[in-house]
Amino acid sequence: MKIIYLFTSPSLHGSSVQTKVLNQIKYLNLAGAECRGAFFSTEVKGVTPFNDQVDFIPVDICNWKYFKASGNKRKIMEAVLKYARSKYNDIDFFYFRYPEAGSLLNTFCSKYGKKTIFEHLSIEEFEIKLHTQENPFGLSPSKLFSWLEYSKLPLWREYLFGKTMRKNVKLGICNSKEIADFQNRKSGGIYQCIIGGDAFEVVAYPLKTRPILEQELRMVFLKGASTSADFNGLDRIIKGIANYQGSFKLKLYILGHQLDAEKDTVSKLNIEDKVKLMSPKRGEELFDFLKDIHIGIATLGLFRKGLNETTTIKVREYIALGLPFIFAYTDPDLNEEAKEFALEFPNDDSIIDMGKVTEFAKKALVDKELPQKMRNYAEEHLDYEVKMKHLYSKFNRLLVNENN
């Protein structure tokens, strides 16, 4: 089976999303596929090998004066169409991480959709509406153009082309049944979707030692998004820390970029001594920092994306590390066994009850074997090797059904 993974937002310097895509390609190959990555980039002038399985494909830089980001996306899709035309007869599937809708993506789906598998991580309309918070409407030219480019026009394109594109595509891989049902409804019931969900390369993370819980409960949130990402719901736990009247001293570390909203909330509540905002940490520096952390914090505001169910890389990181955590949504990969190391809160705007968090931490951290149990769970259910084998078998069934 020959698969080409089309990726439209790569970087020669890498990113968390790109690492995920590289692992998907790597483990699809290990599962038995012949999978190559075509990464479309303005950073290269010619086809440039990134590794043995991935090539960077050159894209012309847009020279528009206004709406330059939209122009760059158009240039990328022009390159994708040209590339797909040259490869279509030689491959079984294009695996395409769903980009923004548009006329050229619609053209791609009409021409090459019968061999295309989209990956959907969200309900796209809700995702786009969140961008309005970053680019609110304003009458000044800069605010008006930003609002149009990042909020109004993407939403309009999704409404205009979304249904037709999905009707023409072979398969959708979604992070949850909720997302899959939405994608299918949007197509008028034609679009076949399956549940994939996020995976993780367990071996890339070392197993944590179990820190002793004494007077201070130390928590961490690892923010990967480069926007304010209101859907993280950190205001819920920050307010919970401010309200807490128990015997523990609480300390929350938030590591990431774009933390202005969190800084403002912490300042208003006057709890700078309890919530520390920090720049991201990577690799060994991160692992060393996490040695003294008791509890991880996962997404607490998914309802702001219009979702109740999803999968996240953050949770998989915590499980691979052996770090108990709290979250506020339904994860289809977490079963009854996971309740030993994961505490679920309601997916709404209520303030997190830190009394429940401290009781959960005391119970979880008394178990000396829990980190290894979590590691075993990650290897059995969440590792890329497991997930990509499952996905490859579904692709094989697609081919068999097509040929019969």
Residue 170 CA: distances (Å) to CA of 157, 173, 211, 280, 392: 21, 10, 48, 39, 15
| pLDDT band, very low/low/confident/very high, at 63 (cuts 50, 70, 90) | confident
> What pLDDT shows up at residue 228?
64
DSSP 200: B
Strand order in the sheet with 325-327: 275-278, 249-255, 216-222, 295-297, 325-327, 342-344
Which segment of 123-137, 192-206, 224-238, 276-290 scores lowest on mean pLDDT? 123-137
| pLDDT band, very low/low/confident/very high, at 102 (cuts 50, 70, 90) | very high
pLDDT tens, residue by residue, 215-242 = 999 999 998 765 667 889 999 999 999 9
Is the pLDDT at 131 greater than 90, yes or no? no
Torsion of CA 47, 50, 55, 60, to 10 degrees: -50
| pLDDT band, very low/low/confident/very high, at 160 (cuts 50, 70, 90) | very high
pLDDT tens, residue by residue, 339-355 = 999 999 999 999 999 99
**Residues 219/240, Cβ–Cβ less than 8 Å:** no
Percent of the chain with pLDDT over 70: 98
Q: Where do we find the tokens 């009458």?
A: 139
193: exposed, middle or buried (Cβ count in 10 Å: 0-12, 13-18, 19+) = buried
Tokens at 267, concatenated: 């300042």
Which segment of 115-129, 135-149, 150-164, 241-255 scores lowest on mean pLDDT? 135-149
Q: Where do we find the tokens 């197993």?
A: 207
283 versus 132: the higher-pLDDT residue is: 283
What number is the average pLDDT over the span 381-396? 93
> What pLDDT shows up at residue 152?
85
> What pLDDT shows up at residue 203?
92
**Residues 228/302, Cβ–Cβ less than 8 Å:** no
> What pLDDT shows up at residue 15?
84
| pLDDT band, very low/low/confident/very high, at 50 (cuts 50, 70, 90) | very high
pTM: 0.87
pLDDT tens, residue by residue, 69-92 = 888 999 999 999 999 999 999 999
> What pLDDT shows up at residue 226?
57
What number is the average pLDDT over the span 181-195? 94
What number is the average pLDDT over the span 190-219? 91
> What pLDDT shows up at residue 403?
66
> What pLDDT shows up at residue 143?
80
Tokens at 97, concatenated: 């991480």
- CA pair distance 235, 262, nearest whole angstrom: 7
Residue 249 phi/psi, 5-degree rounding, is: -85, 125
The residues with which 34 forms a beta bridge, in sequence order, are 2
Pairing of strands 48-51, 54-58: antiparallel
Amino acid at 97: R
Percent of the chain with pLDDT over 90: 74
Q: Long-range pairs for 376-380 at CB < 8 Å and ≥24 separation?
A: 377/319, 377/337, 377/338, 377/341, 378/200, 378/202, 378/316, 378/319, 378/320, 379/202
> What pLDDT shows up at residue 333?
93
Is the pLDDT at 401 greater than 80, yes or no? no
49 versus 138: the higher-pLDDT residue is: 49
- CA pair distance 309, 122, nearest whole angstrom: 10
What number is the average pLDDT over the span 236-259? 94
Residue 19 phi/psi, 5-degree rounding, is: -60, -40
Which span out of 108-117, 306-315, 389-398 was modeled with the highest average pLDDT? Answer: 108-117
What number is the average pLDDT over the span 273-287? 92
**Residues 6/94, Cβ–Cβ less than 8 Å:** yes
Residues near 151 by beta carbon (within 8 Å), at least 6 away in sequence:
128, 129, 131, 132, 135, 137
Dihedral sign, Cα of residue 348, residue 349, residue 351, residue 352: positive
> What pLDDT shows up at residue 253?
97
Residues near 29 by beta carbon (within 8 Å), at least 6 away in sequence:
35, 53
Residue 251 CA: distances (Å) to CA of 53, 66, 99, 237: 43, 45, 38, 11
∠ CA(29), CA(35), CA(41), 5° rounding?
Answer: 130
Residue 56 phi/psi, 5-degree rounding, is: -85, 130
Nearest alpha carbon to residue 166 among 120, 205, 206: 120
| pLDDT band, very low/low/confident/very high, at 95 (cuts 50, 70, 90) | very high
Residue 123 phi/psi, 5-degree rounding, is: -90, 110
What number is the average pLDDT over the span 103-128? 93
